[in-house]
Structure 1
Amino acid sequence: MFDLSRDEITGGSLPRALLVLTAPLVVQQYVVVVQQIVDVFWLGRVSRNAVSAVGLVAPLIGLLALATSVATIGCRVLVAQHVGADDAAAARSTGFHATVLVGAANLLLAVVVLWLAPDLVGVLLSDEAVIQLGATYLTVTTVGRVFGGMSDTIESGFVGWGDSRMSMLINVVAVLTNVVLDPFLIVGWQLPGFAGYGIFGAALATAIGYVAGFTVAVAGLGVDSTSFTIGRADLGVSRDTVRSLLSVGVPHAGQEAGRQIARLLVVAIVAGVAGSAGLAAYTIGARIATVAFVPAAAVGSAVSSIVGQNVGAGNPDRATRATWLAAGATTAGMAVLGVAQYSSPATIVSVFAPTFSGIELTYTVAYLQILAVGYWAFGLIYPIQGGFNGAGKTTVSMVATLLQYWGVRLPVAALGAYVVVFSVPVHAAFWAITASNVACAVGVTAYFWAQTSGATGLIERAATAAASD
């Protein structure tokens, strides 16, 4: 049901192709969100410091995930283009190369973090209790990412092929493992005499989930009923394949690096003007916001696969139509979610952080409402960037994201917190996030229209280049 053929993606109904490819990705992404929310749910019952520590190291974890992002975007785009060009052998070889590269890179990063975790976290905050908690969470999850990164890369290969069903299954197994283990490992739920491991338990559950997901991913590669398989004939090293992966993936990594470093600095601003109460509010808001942009992110992944296959098949007009169709529908849905969150922020906080009161509750309610104002922007950002990425133009998405974070978010947050001081300084950082999302949505949409409205637009040129390879 959720396994689309090449002909369906390159010549069938576009709405159906988008829906069938997106639906499992939405489920997959929501399962990931459930994992994040469940972590916060149980850690919120441990201490505010535990919640703050997770929020503190989140940008560091994002930076360490750059190696994975190079492989996942490169694998998804190139597999899609090879399948569109009816070259299954090249698609399988790309998947093998990407998986091996990300496994080696994440193993090296795990060794570095094992050695330097407290120092890395200590750069961001002077609260020793939060630093130790953050270092623990960072260390354990980074070791787990050795398996999680390879699992993510294999998933991206399935999506590029048009099989989002298998990608969903891998994530569901990983996250359900995490969610089931969380209450026992974090607070010792229903285990007499055992109080749990706190934040170490949360990180351990996540790492075990990564291993479970990787096991399913590897098993899926050897099952004939799945579309994307890797056999002995696909093993081997090709410099050209590595070069192609890097040419597509590195700009995306630059995009993610710019995003995560800016996030890190915004976290530092929040901590500087509002302390652990502000960090706790930021963490809850960020996790809840993830619920909102999950559908948009899933649509963006689906668009990149559909555009990639149509570029490979020489159908640039269809690739452009798919991008606009996805952007319009997603923006409408995101606007509805924004209205819902803006209307009931206190209720949301009471569910996910019942111990919050006083200033951290006030900050969190305000942040949820400020975020909701700009939710519609995600409906444009992710599908439009998915269109650029599917065409292999990941540099465009990189530049848009760098401008979003470094041209708008960070300057507005710093100016509002320290120069033109808001009445509540931390609100400057909150509003900077929403303002940057809106600015990026408007800018990237205008650029996509300008680059695709002519007879020899960006996607047409990408299709011509793919045909000449």
Structure 2
Amino acid sequence: MLDVDRGEITDGPVGRVLLVLAAPLVAQNVVYVANALIDTFWLGRVGEDAVAAVGLSLPIQSLLGATVVIGAVGTQILVAQYAGGEDESRARRVAVNGALVALAVTAAVAIPVVVYAEEVAALLGADPALAGATATYLAIVIAVLPVGAVGDTVENCFTAYGDTRAVFHVSLVSVLVNLVAAPVLIFGVGPVPELGVAGAALGTALAGVAGLLWILAYAAGIGRDTFRLTREAFALDLATVREVVSVGLPLGGQRGVSELVRVLVVGLVAIAGGSAGVAAYTVGARVATLAIVPALGMQQAAQSMIGQNLGANAPARARRTTTVGTGMVVVGFLALGAVQFLFAGGIADLLAPDLTATGRDLAATYLRILGASYWALGGTYTLLAGFNGASRTRTSFVADLVKYWAIRFPIAVAAVPVVTTVSAFGVAVTPGLGWGVEAVFWAVAVSNVVGFVGLGGYFLYTTRRGMFANAAERASGGEGGSGGEGGSEGETVAEAADDD
């Protein structure tokens, strides 16, 4: 039921193929987020400070995760295009060299962060009660970042080929490992000592290692035959490395600019709301991460589907994949946001029952505000899939630069008390408007909505100017493509009928 023949990706009904491709990815991302929620769930039974310590480290983890994107997503986009053009040897070569890019780039940033974890925690503005636990958690999780980067890159190759079930299997193995390891290591069972926050980090690390071993087994042909790495593919190819980096670097930059703002925003939350504010923000961030799982799965499926259709010289179908996917996500997320708005208090109680009254009220408030903007947040993911699948990855970078730096951060600064001069991650902020930590919550929601509307307008503009037609020409080896300037989509009545 969840199998998709590769021919259907370029010829089957768009909506159905997208859903079938996305379903295992959604399940995979649910499992992935469950890994993170496991930490919050168990540490919520330890105390508010434990939740806050992990919350302070999350933006740094996400910021460094931008380096993973360079190799992992750049590889996925290129492998999908070569798979669509039936160039199997080139696709495998991209996979191997993309994994090398992911390993090298993430190791370069992980090592100094592990060495200077305490200094990084101090820069975040953590008070002495939180700094030690934050540094410990951060150092352990970041130490295995290169392992996760290689695993994500190989997983994305299976996604590019349409084998999304393989990715789900790997994530399921990871979460099962963490499900067992986390409570044992956090609270101590038998001969295992009680490690608290460090135990949560170790459980996450073990889950990452298990996932890497599983996906490498699949790539070796053990249990799967959809995508396989052959001995001939294991050769350093500098031209391929440059190709992966050229596609992935703007996406890494996109992730970096957004996550740097999140780092700064967490600092503002700590200043304006203290431990209660950080804990509330952490609960909201965890729930939002779970909520966007369907959109992320749809984005991953759409990027692969768009790439394969461009490789097969079907630009109209690539465009339709973007619009159909976005419409489905927006409608679904309107309903999802309404549910979260209505049950915000209960969700906060479930995840962190030991929050103080202030922390609980702030968490419920943030969950309601987030729920109201989910439709825009989800739709942005699928719109970006259209640009990314067409190798227009710089658009994603610029879109997030505007969304986070021109909209979200300036509004969030209003949370800072008027009479103080403070430092958030080494950046002086003085003075604020004294609106309180709720201003940060509104900054997130407003930037989601404005970002989606602006990106949607630009998508209409670029598609009318032939973005997908030019991308298809480049992917199939044609000349003269300009990445969205000039040309036309070239859709015929027959192509439109085939897309229904």
Say yes or no: TM over 0.5.
yes
How far apart, in 2, do the equivalents of 1:65 and 1:7 lie?
A: 33
In structure 2, the partner of 1:139 is 139
In structure 2, the partner of 1:197 is 195
In structure 2, the partner of 1:385 is 384
In structure 1, the partner of 2:437 is 426
Correspondence list, 1:155-166, <5 A: 155-166=155-166
How far apart, in 2, do the equivalents of 1:355 and 1:61 lie?
A: 25
Contact 2:276 2:355 in 1 (8 A): no
- CA offsets 1:301-337 (integer angstroms, 9 cap, x no match): 1111111111111101000001110111111111111
Correspondence list, 1:69-468, <5 A: 69-188=69-188, 191=189, 196-223=194-221, 225-418=224-417, 425-452=436-463, 454=464, 456-468=465-477
Aligned pair count reads 465
Contact 2:31 2:175 in 1 (8 A): yes
How far apart, in 1, do the equivalents of 2:83 and 2:4 lie?
A: 12
How far apart, in 1, do the equivalents of 2:415 and 2:134 lie?
A: 27
Closer, same or farther in 2 for the Cα pair 1:193/1:68, shift >3 Å? Answer: closer
How far apart, in 2, do the equivalents of 1:114 and 1:40 lie?
A: 22
How far apart, in 2, do the equivalents of 1:28 and 1:156 lie?
A: 12
How far apart, in 2, do the equivalents of 1:223 and 1:3 lie?
A: 18
Question: SS of 1:280's equivalent?
Answer: helix
* 1:58 maps to amino acid: L
How far apart, in 2, do the equivalents of 1:123 and 1:184 lie?
A: 31
Q: Which moved more, 1:275-284 or 1:216-225?
A: 216-225
How far apart, in 2, do the equivalents of 1:87 and 1:458 lie?
A: 23
Question: SS of 2:473's equivalent?
Answer: helix
Contact 2:56 2:126 in 1 (8 A): no
How far apart, in 1, do the equivalents of 2:166 and 2:260 lie?
A: 32
Question: SS of 2:71's equivalent?
Answer: helix
How far apart, in 2, do the equivalents of 1:14 and 1:77 lie?
A: 19
Closer, same or farther in 2 for the Cα pair 1:193/1:250, shift >3 Å? Answer: closer
Contact 2:272 2:415 in 1 (8 A): no
How far apart, in 1, do the equivalents of 2:229 and 2:208 lie?
A: 21
How far apart, in 2, do the equivalents of 1:126 and 1:178 lie?
A: 27
How far apart, in 1, do the equivalents of 2:434 and 2:339 lie?
A: 27
Question: SS of 2:97's equivalent?
Answer: helix
Contact 1:6 1:309 in 2 (8 A): no
Q: Which moved more, 1:219-228 or 1:166-175?
A: 219-228
**Residue 66 of structure 1, CA deviation:** 2.1
Contact 1:75 1:94 in 2 (8 A): yes
* 1:228 maps to amino acid: F
**Residue 217 of structure 1, CA deviation:** 0.9
Contact 1:79 1:91 in 2 (8 A): yes
Contact 2:47 2:355 in 1 (8 A): no
In structure 1, the partner of 2:425 is none
- CA offsets 1:120-167 (integer angstroms, 9 cap, x no match): 111011412211111111111111222111111111111111111111
* 1:271 maps to amino acid: A
How far apart, in 1, do the equivalents of 2:207 and 2:41 lie?
A: 18
* 2:476 maps to amino acid: A
How far apart, in 2, do the equivalents of 1:370 and 1:380 lie?
A: 17
Closer, same or farther in 2 for the Cα pair 1:422/1:361, shift >3 Å? Answer: farther
How far apart, in 2, do the equivalents of 1:274 and 1:11 lie?
A: 53
**Residue 379 of structure 1, CA deviation:** 2.7
Contact 1:151 1:213 in 2 (8 A): yes
Larger helix fraction of residues: 1
How far apart, in 2, do the equivalents of 1:150 and 1:8 lie?
A: 29
**Residue 109 of structure 1, CA deviation:** 3.1
**Residue 418 of structure 1, CA deviation:** 4.8
**Residue 421 of structure 1, CA deviation:** 6.6
* 2:210 maps to amino acid: A
Q: Which moved more, 1:95-104 or 1:253-262?
A: 95-104
* 1:142 maps to amino acid: I
Contact 1:412 1:429 in 2 (8 A): yes
**Residue 355 of structure 1, CA deviation:** 0.7
How far apart, in 2, do the equivalents of 1:92 and 1:98 lie?
A: 10
**Residue 205 of structure 1, CA deviation:** 0.3
How far apart, in 2, do the equivalents of 1:382 and 1:226 lie?
A: 30
Q: What stretches of structure 1 of length at least 5 have no aligned partner?
A: none
- CA offsets 1:405-435 (integer angstroms, 9 cap, x no match): 0010001111354569777510110000000
Contact 2:8 2:17 in 1 (8 A): yes
* 2:212 maps to amino acid: F
**Residue 357 of structure 1, CA deviation:** 2.4
Q: Which moved more, 1:366-375 or 1:410-419?
A: 410-419
**Residue 36 of structure 1, CA deviation:** 1.3
Closer, same or farther in 2 for the Cα pair 1:413/1:9, shift >3 Å? Answer: same
**Residue 105 of structure 1, CA deviation:** 2.9
Question: SS of 1:428's equivalent?
Answer: helix
How far apart, in 2, do the equivalents of 1:194 and 1:46 lie?
A: 17
Percent identity over the alignment is: 38
* 1:209 maps to amino acid: A
Contact 1:251 1:394 in 2 (8 A): yes
Closer, same or farther in 2 for the Cα pair 1:338/1:415, shift >3 Å? Answer: same
How far apart, in 2, do the equivalents of 1:239 and 1:227 lie?
A: 26
Question: SS of 2:405's equivalent?
Answer: helix
Contact 1:338 1:373 in 2 (8 A): yes
